[in-house]
Amino acid sequence: MAGIKNGIDFVVAGRYRLVRKIGSGSFGDIYLGINVSNGEEVAVKLEPTRARHPQLLYESKLYKVLQGGIGIPHIRWYGQEKEFNVLVLDLLGPSLEDLFNFCSRRFTIKTVLMLADQMIGRIEYMHSRSFIHRDIKPDNFLMGIGRHCNKLFLIDFGLAKKFRDNRTRTHITYREDKNLTGTARYASINAHLGIEQSRRDDMESLGYVMMYFNRGSLPWQGLKAATKKQKYEKISEKKMSTPVEVLCKGFPAEFAMYLNYCRGLRFEEGPDYMYLRQLFRILFRTLNHQYDYTFDWTMLKQKAALGGGSSGVNLMPPSGVGGGGGGPGGGAGGAGATGGAGGTSNQAAPSPAPGPAGGPPQLSQAQGNRESMRAL
């Protein structure tokens, strides 16, 4: 980024020194930073103050609204430094997209179900604060580092929207003239149709994320078209013409039940998060799995440590996946978000137990606000 030639000389708020660039997004760049007083590593997001569509202030406000929730990164500082708007956050580990690639683009049912429990909880908490995310995707879920290495974090609130008034609890109005906001691959059918998004759309998108992890890809990936608009139309057509039962064929019925439930929700209806969580918890027990927080990537890392190799899988997630870029190695450094009182049932999910600091080398806090519609 112009204006930062040497991170060593750039200090934010008198205490966070930039170390190196570790990623970028439409908003600007993200740097690994270090607290000069205690050596703690942090993520520092920079946006030029002259940006045509500044987004960092909005995102910082969202983080403040969501503070205290389990799996919400802790905001350390927001303000201006030289010619940049700056947001300092917890440094987190790799995204689920990074880890999916690390695991040869297939997760076991056990890993998907352990992730589902946490993902539902994160979305439920955000909804309890009267906001919808509108860009649920693997890139926007990150694992923590250090003692939080088994905790899943939800990030990137640049497209989030308030769906009800805090005081009156009045829901936003139903509309049918909206442009598609989010990522086409995981967008709900109603979002494709131009219908105003609500809580049901976040939950439907999560269903597609889970099937992406189960299958390795979704039927509407890789479609060719002359323009982006035509591509999005093709994705929409394929999504609508693929029955849920076909999408979920070969996998436990609970995944189809989840998607059918989400698609059947009314615009203003609050999802029954506990019902959805219990669907997968009961399946988890039926399959005789243990909530030991041994994910697929944990196993791969342990195999490599024992000299057993990793079946040809590169232990470093590919740089640049999800806009991440190669991050700091090691896994020491910034603490994860504090788990404070959220007051919602997302805290009823099993607490991440201390486990091996497994998984591939840590990546940065993934990249922030993107444009309203992303290319696949």
Taking CB atoms within 8 Å and a gap of at least 24, the contacts of 173-178 are: 174/267, 174/268
How many CA atoms lie within 13 Å of 225's alpha carbon, on the beta-carbon side?
17
Nearest to 341 by CA among 103, 165, 125, 142: 125
**Helix/strand/coil percent split, the chain, to 5:** 35, 15, 50
Q: What is the dihedral of CA 319, 320, 322, 327, to 10 degrees?
A: 60
Task: Judge whether 202 counts as a catalytic residue.
Answer: no
Q: Output the CA torsion sign for 210, 130, 56, 182.
A: positive
Cα distances from 173 to residues 101, 146, 165, 219, 349, in angstroms, run: 39, 43, 12, 32, 32
Query: What is the spatial distance between Cα 56 and Cα 157, in angstroms, rounded to a whole number?
Result: 10
Query: What is the spatial distance between Cα 4 and Cα 365, in angstroms, rounded to a whole number?
Result: 20
How many CA atoms lie within 13 Å of 176's alpha carbon, on the beta-carbon side?
1
CB 117 within 8 A of CB 351: no
Cα angle: 131, vertex 158, 346; to 5 degrees = 40
In the set 29, 117, 135, 296, the catalytic residue is 135
Query: What is the spatial distance between Cα 187 and Cα 296, in angstroms, rounded to a whole number?
Result: 26
Pure H helices in the chain:
56-66, 96-102, 109-128, 189-192, 199-215, 228-241, 244-247, 253-263, 273-286, 296-305
Is 45 annotated to bind ligand?
A: yes
Q: What is the CA radius of gyration of the chain?
A: 20
Known binding residues:
45
Known binding residues for ATP:
45
Catalytic residues: 135
